[in-house]
Amino acid sequence: MNAFKRDKKEEEDGGGNPFQNLEKTTVLQEARTFNDTPVHPRKCSHILTKILYLINQGEVLGMTEATETFFAMTKLFQSRDVVLRRLVYLAIKELSSIAEDVIIVTSSLTKDMTGKEDLYRAAAIRALCTITDGAMLAAIERYMKQAIVDKSPAVSSAALVSSLHLSSVSADVARRWANEAQEALNSDNVMVQYHALGVLYQARKQDKHAVIKLVAKLIRYNPKSPYAGCLLIRMVCKLLENSNEGGELLDFIECCLRHKSEMVVYEAAHALVNLNRSGTREIAAAISVLQLFCGSPKPALRFAAVRTLNKVAMTHPAAVTGCNLDLENLITDPNRSIATLAITTLLKTGAESSVDR
Amino acid sequence: MDGQLLEPTLYTVKGMAILDNDGNRILAKYYDKNIFPTSKEQKAFEKNLFNKTHRSNTEIIMLDGLTCVYRSNVDLYFYVMGSSHENELILMSVLNCLYDSVSQILRRNVEKRAVLDSLDIVMLAMDEICDGGIILDADAASVVQRVALRTDDIPLGEQTVAQVFQSAKEQLKWSLLK
């Protein structure tokens, strides 16, 4: 009966899910096709997709199974098919934590990361860094430094992000590659800028004076990337939290309230109301921005604003009173989280006079 | 107010998921080993998330200490999860990138069947958007450019014939095995 129901459902879906009834053992058997020469790119891509889908569904591969599949997959490096190659990288990353002796693909990946094809290079770097251990790090260090300053943004970002992941393998990776990251920080690409700043912070976060120097230089010409802007605000907050001086830093955050990206404006407002250093003036400026966001057509923005106001209301209820009208409008918001947050905020700020409305 | 200020880190995204209209997982990735370590817990969370979101299209919800932003179309639900202190607008930009990339890959035909037909490319796109919790790229056009792997090499007609053949073969096989 159940099977019948499922069939019916599949028919309604228009043919059903071609991946629905996959059996792990059958799919892994099919992986033997990888050993055929010449390689059939389309057929092998399809099998790899099925393997990746099974892993994604939570199917657990044993160590022997994973290792066998991994070794079969290494044969696919003979093919020059782009989709297939990219799927191989993806599978290397997925299997690297289960299979044994994954370092055998090191030379293939190093070849791809230094090759001509940009589409391969970025993805190969990320795959290579997932199989790299402490002992292998020295061997790829030279290539990684080159990749960080590469003119292709995809390659540069891939290398920067991978070096952050590698910090768990060797703690001083970020510090050793900081010079290259410093150069990447000047990139025009917004993501490269963001990733480079992340690596530089990781390299210097133990040394407060180095962070102060980095921040002082950056706040003069606010980074173009909104993501880097948010990260910079967080770095500034961290400094302000542990020091008594830094009026300049507080001014910088206030200045970010006028940034052209909403993301940065919200980050700055959120920072100001949560810093115990900010005075009435800064809090008032932040609240007026949040008040504007309360009327935004975007639910995420209204949510962000009312959630932050809810927090300020606990410490500075008087400062939030000015937003009461806006908050009252949000009580009937279709998003229940927003409505609930608005009500609890009003409970803290509302007076008897507003109960009638 | 300790703990409200955000740690300056690039690790922003806790997870991404694409579910179907029954709340079943099509693709999902979790980037923080401390939340939902097993796939059983992940799927329980996804069911819960789906039940709370599938009837209302209101973009954002707090669930199990995570901020989840979401978007749906026909029979697909897209989710991006982050810590409850995370900047919601950053998460929203990741969600929009995920949705727009998939939409462009499927040529605006955002539905379950089409995702399953191009599952390999959608997997590659998810991998290009977020790497281990770090936002790698949040611009859909650039993500698509990185994964739409020179399809002009393969004549479009031939490609579809191959796909049709493949799915016909699959169906035949399963009807024989039942």
In 3D, which of A94, A151, A82, A148 has the Cα closest to residue A119?
A82
Q: Please tell me the predicted confidence (pLDDT) of residue B164.
A: 58
Please report, as a single letter, which amino acid is at residue B63.
L
| Residue A15 confidence (pLDDT) | 54
State whether A14 and B123 contact (CB < 8 Å): no
Radius of gyration of chain A (CA): 27
Interface of A with B in 33-62 (CB under 8 A): 42, 45-46, 48-49, 52-53, 56-58
> What pLDDT score was predicted for residue B99?
96
Reported ipTM: the value is 0.90
How would residue B170 be classed by pLDDT, with cut points 50, 70 and 90? low
As a whole number, the mean pLDDT across chain B is: 85
- Grade residue A19 by pLDDT with cuts at 50, 70 and 90: confident
Confidence of residue A185 (pLDDT cuts 50, 70, 90): very high
* pLDDT-based confidence at residue A144 (cuts at 50, 70, 90): very high
- Per the listing, tokens 């979101």 go with B53
A chain contacts of residue B4, beta-carbon cutoff 8 Å: 274, 311
Section A58-76 average pLDDT: 92
How many other C-beta atoms are found inside a 10 Å radius of the C-beta of residue A245?
Answer: 8
pLDDT in tens, B31-48: 998 999 999 999 999 999
Q: Specify the amino acid at residue A111.
A: K
**A110 CB burial (10 A radius; 0-12, 13-18, 19+):** middle
| pTM, 2 dp | 0.88
At A1 the pLDDT is: 46
pLDDT for res B74: 85
Examine the pLDDT at A41 and tell me if it is beyond 50: yes
Instruction: Tell me if chain B has a CB within 8 Å of the CB of A243.
Output: no
pLDDT value for B156: 44
Among B10, B137, B173, the residue to mutate for chain A (most A Cβ within 10 A):
B10
Mean pLDDT for A19-41 is: 87
Residue A276 has what pLDDT?
81
Q: Which residue has the higher pLDDT, A146 or B163?
A: A146
Residues A303 and A291: beta-carbon distance below 8 Å: no
Beta pairing partners, B20: B76
Where are the domains positioned within chain B?
Answer: 13-177
Find the mean pLDDT for residues A93-101.
91
Confidence tier at A191 by pLDDT (50, 70, 90): very high
Q: Is the pLDDT of residue B3 over 60?
A: no
Q: Give the mean model confidence (pLDDT) for residues A226-239.
A: 94
pLDDT tens-digit readout, A293-327: 999 999 999 999 999 999 889 888 888 888 888 89
Q: Among A240-244, B125-129, B167-171, where is mean pLDDT lowest?
A: B167-171
For chain B, give the number of residues: 178
A58 chain-B contacts, CB cut-off 8 A: 39-40, 42-43
- For the cut 60, the answer to whether the pLDDT of residue A213 exceeds it is yes
pLDDT of B175 higher than 80: no
User: Which member of A15, A161, A271 has the closest CB to residue B134?
Assistant: A161
Contact between A191 and B4 using a beta-carbon 8 Å cutoff: no
Please state whether B68 falls in left (phi above 0), alpha (psi between -120 and 50) or beta: beta
Would you place residue B140 in the very low, low, confident or very high pLDDT band (cuts 50, 70, 90)?
very high
Residue of A nearest to B114 (CA): A17
Q: Coil, helix or strand for A40? A: coil
More confident residue, A119 or A157: A157
Quick one: pLDDT band at residue B1, thresholds 50, 70, 90? very low
Instruction: Report the topology of domain B13-177.
Output: Beta-Lactamase (3.30.450)
Buried b (16+ CB within 10 A) or exposed e, A114-139: eeeeebbbbbbbbbbbbbbeeeebee
Lowest mean pLDDT segment, chosen from A47-51, A257-261, B146-150: B146-150
Give A176→chain B minimum CA distance, Å. Answer: 19
Q: Number of CB pairs < 8 Å for A and B?
A: 161
Work out the mean pLDDT of chain A and round it to a whole number. Answer: 88
| A13 Cβ contact list (under 8 Å, min separation 6) | B112, B113
pLDDT beyond 90 at A17: no
Q: Which residue has the higher pLDDT, A11 or A212?
A: A212
Residue bearing the bigger pLDDT, B173 or B104: B104
Cβ atoms A153, A191 nearer than 8 A: yes
For residue A91, the model assigns a pLDDT of 95
Q: Is the pLDDT of residue B154 over 80?
A: no
Range of lowest pLDDT (A80-84, A197-201, A230-234): A80-84
pLDDT at A37 over 90: no
Q: What is the pLDDT of residue A16?
A: 64
* Residues of chain A positioned with their CB less than 8 A from the CB of B6: 234, 237
Kindly state the average pLDDT of the residues A132-161.
Answer: 93
